[in-house]
Amino acid sequence: MARVAGVDLPKNKRLDVALRYIYGVGQALSDYIIASLSLDPAKRVKDLSEEEVNKINGFIAKGYKVEGDLRREVQQNIKRYMEIGSYRGYRHRRNLPVRGQRTRTNARTKRGKRKTVGASKVAREAPAAAAAPAKA
């Protein structure tokens, strides 16, 4: 099992797909890494040599912020938006979409399951004659 940037890559996937399991590495960066190191993108992770894994590790560590460092930076940016009171921070604080999407319909992923809002049924009072037995 190849371990790159603290992530165990799936051993039966192609190298170009497996690199995308690293947070911060997408298709373009994966292709760039493979081309820069002149590796075969169709090669399976289980067939990589230790030397190739070390080359990938070194390349990513040298030039890119991935995994924990990138997650930390993103969270710090969000916290900064909230502290300075920007519109984006306000949207994050209210757990609403940040990038201009509509919220009248849709936005279910961000807002969660629907909560029905409306008039609730109030229990009716029983008529006085039916409630108390008649005295004879």
The per-residue pLDDT for range 52-89, each reduced to its tens digit, is 999 999 999 998 999 889 999 999 999 999 999 999 99
Residue 85 lies in a domain: yes
Going by C-alpha positions, the residue among 58, 93, 94, 96 that lies closest to residue 79 is 93
Please give the model's pTM, rounded to 2 decimal places: 0.72
Residue 82 lies in a domain: yes
What is the CATH number for 17? 1.10.8.50
Looking at per-residue pLDDT, the higher value among 126 and 110 belongs to 110
Instruction: Give me the number of domains the chain comprises.
Output: 2
Same domain, 56 and 80: no
Phi, psi of 47 (to 5 degrees): -95, 0
